[in-house]
Amino acid sequence: MEMDKTTQKTLDMVHKLLDGTHVFEGWYSMPYSYSDDDVVDYQIKYRAKKVSIWKMKNGECQYEGTIYIEPLEISLGVNDEWEHGFRQHDISENIWDDLGENTIKKVSTILPHVCVDYDWDYKKLNNSKS
């Protein structure tokens, strides 16, 4: 199915916003630790592998769609010493939720008429060799 010009232009703008490799960073408290000072830093390298959008007939959004996020690498660090090669289940599900919401916010801040959700493609991350 061929897209009309405005839908294609909107899709191009979303692609431009999400182009390239991005890094999502944060930290979490070390599980089962007796001290609140025991934290693990994380960095997730990712890219938007695919974006699908379609025009809406009704509602507050002119366009709706899905961003397919592909995590490429997870690094975990303690006291500025980093280890690489982690996989999907080595970090908490809420971190994945935060990354997805952050990606949606990138789009909705610049293009408020585009309502997107996200989905994951963990194949590359989970098949990577450490």
- The DSSP code sequence of 86-108 is --GGGS-HHHHHHHHHHHHHHHH
pLDDT digits (tens, 9 = 90+) for 54-100: 999 888 899 999 999 999 999 999 888 999 999 999 999 999 999 99
pLDDT at residue 103 in the model: 97
pLDDT of residue 60: 85
- pTM, to two decimals: 0.88
% pLDDT > 70, the chain: 94
Residues facing 40 on adjacent strands = 28
State the chain's mean pLDDT as an integer: 92
Instruction: Say what the pLDDT of residue 1 is.
Output: 56
Average pLDDT over residues 8-18: 96
